[in-house]
Chains A and B, each alone.
Chain A
Amino acid sequence: MKYTEDHEWLRVEGDLIVVGITEHAASQLGDVVFVELPEPETMVAQGDEVVVIESVKAASDILAPVDGEVVEINADLTDSPALVNEDPTGAAWFFKLKVDDLSVLDQFMDEDEYNDLIS
């Protein structure tokens, strides 16, 4: 598992990168009530706003961590946005990205580095 400074986690699954938000981020957001996902087969560039998350308090977004193609989205989140608070690192993954080269993940933090960031 790798982590971004925007509090996303990145997990490799075959040749795809699964993207979600960390428990820390979910707790900071508060109760999530709405999630807007991209269309599958969307090409995204690093830094693009890919997902909108609305909590009871405010709106925020998930940025594409790297260039790639969204090949799968977690439609469960549309019906059950509360999953983001209940299981942020498991059932509440947001989308899967297909990238040219998984070594793009090397630039991101490992768990220890991320824990240092949020402590």
Chain B
Amino acid sequence: MSELGRTALHGLHLELGARMVPFAGYDMPVQFPMGVLREHLHTRTAAGLFDVSHMGQVLVRPMSGDMADAALALESLMPIDLCGLQSGRQRYGMFTNDSGGISDDLMVAHRGDHFLVVVNAACKEADLAHMQARLPGCHVEPVPNRGLLALQGPLAAQSLAQMIPDVMAMRFMDVATPAWQGHDLWVTRSGYSGEDGFEISVPNAQAMPLARALLALPAVAPIGLGARDSLRLEAGLCLYGHDITPDTSPVEAALAWAISKARRASGARAGGFPGADRILTELADGPTRLRVGLLPEGRAPMREGTELFATATSPAPIGHVTSGGFAPSLDRPIAMGYVPAPHATPGTLLFGAVRGKRLPLQVCPLPFRIPTYQR
């Protein structure tokens, strides 16, 4: 096995007493001494600082200098309206494959003369190769010299504003380039916790001083990958490789909201992305299976892989849990998984097989907890 990568904040994690684990090829903090439960609740009530530098940052620049060319090129890889994305704004999207599955989910930010695409750590080499091969009119450059921090929670804005007052003027999914100590930060008002907050791309050399300055603020605590997972699960957000995969389409994954009108059957630039046949058909006719929220009726968490059954005795599973665990803010177990469309209506009673027992659970709407984005 090759040596684990280290982010620019690796030394700080060790200094703060983090428990480190291998994640997507990096040695990453799964929790700090506060522990997953309190880190989760701290992010929901104050502000949590996450190191997400393992994620891929990629710049896509039009060779022509005309951003419409880059937008059209990227639109050939995803069912998202990027021609309509204004400068200074960001949008959620996903690369689809030829069979209509999701090869990664991502954020695209319009930064004036280029797009910044932020992709999952485990997919970043493949995504980079994909874009370099499929965007011939664009310069596609990885950004290995910058870290990425996320500051999330109800006190994230006022905390960050103590260092960078301009961020108060940003709203959800805005993109800005404020300076801090003479260095440009690439800031978006977004994140993956279901809270208001920011993602901050920072030159590697400034990542440590920036993180220390943020952690010196009274509301801010360091948060590990464990709480990042429980936070995003409560917010009903997908974890790539688990809730969405090369086999699941965006429609099955209940991500149809992200498929722009302009790219749908009657849209101005309908189709034209990999797997459009399947995806447009599923939009029209409904998918055969759907990602749903699941509420176990007891206290036992239902983890990823738990098989789901229509009744307490039916022999064959109808689906399985793709993410599941304990929700600290709701003080109960929650899960997500795929079930056939006829079983996907909220309120439907299903059974999960846990240690040989069939335990009842109910299909519920997503998200489990309504996000608090500042729109």
Contacts and interface: CB of A to CB of B under 8 A. Distances in A.
Interface stretch (B204-212, B299-307, B313-321, B342-350): B299-307
B325 interface: yes
B186 interface: no
Nearest to B355: A52
Contacts, number: 40
Contacts of A78: 299
Interface of A: 30-31, 33-34, 36, 52, 54, 56-59, 78
Contact of A31 (B30, B36, B303): B36
Nearest to A57: B226
B303 to A, nearest CB: 7
Contacts of A58: 303
B133 to A, nearest CB: 38
A11 to B, nearest CB: 26
Given A52-B355, A54-B301, A59-B303, A33 B326 contact: yes
Interface residues of B, number: 18
Contacts of A54: 300-301, 326
Contacts of B37: 30-31, 33, 56
Chain B CB count within 10 A is highest, among A34, A36, A57, A58, for A57
B222 interface: no
Main secondary structure of the interface of B (DSSP, over half): mixed
A52 B326 CA distance: 15
A33 B226 contact: no
Chain B CB count within 10 A is highest, among A34, A56, A59, for A56
B36 A34 contact: no
5 closest Cβ pairs, A-B complex: A31-B37, A33-B326, A56-B36, A34-B299, A54-B301
Contact of B230 (A34, A36, A52, A56): A56
Contacts of A56: 36-37, 40, 226, 230, 325-326, 328
7 contacts: A30-B35, A31-B37, A33-B301, A54-B300, A56-B36, A56-B326, A78-B299
B362 interface: no
A30 B299 contact: no
A96 B333 CA distance: 28
A107 B301 CA distance: 35
